[in-house]
With several copies, the nearest count.
Chain A
Amino acid sequence: MEHASIMNKKRRVSDQLLEALIYLCAFLAVGLLLGIIGYVFWRGFRTVNWSFLVTEQSPTKGIMGIAGNIVNTLYIVVLTLLAATPIGVGGAIYLNEYAKPGKFVSLVQFTIETLTGIPSIIFGLFGNVFFGKIFGYSMLTGALTLTIMVLPLIARNTQEALRTVPDSYRSGALGIGATKWYMIRTILLPSAMPGILTGVILAIGRIVGESAALLFTAGSGYYLPKGGMGLFRKLFESGGTMTIELYLQMAKGKYDVAFGIACVLLALVLLLNLLTKYLAGRLNVENRK
């Protein structure tokens, strides 16, 4: 029997071309993306200093600071989550724990999927005419609009988290006479908490980065609220988040300021990202035990 030798190392041109292509694309994509981060930090770094972060903008005095925008960002995040978290978590609990499979459940599931895909400019258009008619350009208009937008994010993550809670916990609790709501409160929600928090953080990321849906609902004010009443009044006043201010400064060609804000935003996104990673880890460990 004639044996083929294995010592004849061949070079396949097509393989090498394709491999080169993969390297090229990876280099391009990763280089580009890392370049973006690097460039933004490098370009924005000099603008960011303590007074940039803690002073209020005053165009007449020529002072540029984003304190008002930072407060607005926090304000709208809190306001939106206050509305979206209970609704999102509640809806997920309904879907996972109460609903019997059927038309209604598939309808809710479908609408949640759909909400995920709707572009933010549509939310902006809708919020502008729907809530804006009543509340004008205000934090409230913005928060109500964003509530609808981030609802699916929280609902889906909660659903995922509830799914990972073993059924044996449920029957265990019910088997000793717990009512369903008691069981949900004491067993399910604590077990699903890291997942819920992950959803909440993703929602924060989305709110922080949002522009189209906010510019036409919450507007672009940059003042700090004045005192305790001011904080309440803020509800009905316009306020721009950092991302909105970034957009406006960039439109005006004030690139130094724009990159400065971009730099702060990137840092924030990085932080939120690390937080999600940490929580995801927690969720896994719980399951492994």
Chain B
Amino acid sequence: MQDSKISVSGLNLFYGENHALKDINIKIHENTVMALIGPSGCGKSTFLKCLNRMNDLVDGVKVDGKVLLDGEDIYDPGVDTTLLRKKVGMVFQQPNPFPMSIYDNIAYGPRIHGIKNKSRLDEIVENALKGAAIFDEVKDRLKAPALGLSGGQQQRLCIARALAVEPEVLLMDEPTSALDPISTLKIEELMNDLKKRYTVVVVTHNMQQAARVSDETAFFLLGELVEADETMNIFGHPKDKRTEDYITGRFG
């Protein structure tokens, strides 16, 4: 196995009184896709947001433990969260393009990070759109409003937007749950493609999807990480009884 890109140890998270993540220890390897599964409310989204400190925005959150990204603790006071989030991109469940043109959506990130040069931006936009497998569909209408795209296209646009800042890790929270089967297929293919260059962590409710797209799978239950292993093992020979029950549909 490769290096671990992200290494989480002793992570606990509280929403006020609610102990939402309990002593999580896990390693996520470079250039792989890791799937997070588990029943609703088990803490998948919460864990994902720990990886780029999006939880900072929630009032009354207390985080405790270590999350190392390339060996640096992202909860160190010296960390610049904007640099962290540039490095660890995120795609949300609901496609959420900004109310501006397709081009400006993609150029948003690069511009924030100081890129002003027009031809450089053009290049970045084109590459990002290609990377998210949507370039051909929108290349003739880059100036059109992004909100005019279909749901599936919007989600790929959001992926392109995340790619445009050249992250190293890509977090995806149920990226296909709001999409139709054809768009879902496109995005699954895309994930397979992305892992060549990025480390991908994806939350999914869909067991088949986890099995199809991921190299490794982590199973959460009631805020605990029950088991994390290669996807084949999780779906083939889970070590924990609870994992087996969940995968075979006995609860959740």
Contact = CB atoms under 8 A, between A and B. Distances in A.
A7 B158 contact: no
Interface string A130-146: 00000000000000000
A174 B92 contact: no
B150 interface: no
A168 B94 contact: yes
A191 interface: yes
B113 A286 contact: no
A178 B94 CA distance: 19
A177 interface: yes
Interface stretch (A47-55, A182-190, A232-240): A182-190
Interface string B145-160: 1011000000000100
Contact of A186 (B57, B79, B87, B108): B108
Interface residues of A, number: 31
B115 to A, nearest CB: 12
Contact of A175 (B52, B78, B99, B148): B52
A4 B87 contact: yes
Contacts of A10: 80, 82-83
Interface residues of B, number: 42
A229 interface: no
Given A6-B72, A168-B92, A186-B108, A173 B98 contact: yes
Contacts of B44: none
Contact of A6 (B59, B84, B96, B113): B84
Interface of A: 1, 3-10, 100-101, 166, 168-179, 182, 186-187, 190-191, 286, 289
Given A1-B30, A178-B82, 7 more contacts: A4-B87, A5-B70, A9-B79, A175-B52, A175-B85, A176-B112, A289-B147
18 contacts: A3-B87, A3-B168, A7-B72, A7-B79, A8-B83, A9-B79, A172-B158, A175-B52, A176-B86, A176-B90, A176-B108, A176-B112, A176-B162, A177-B83, A177-B86, A177-B112, A178-B82, A289-B147
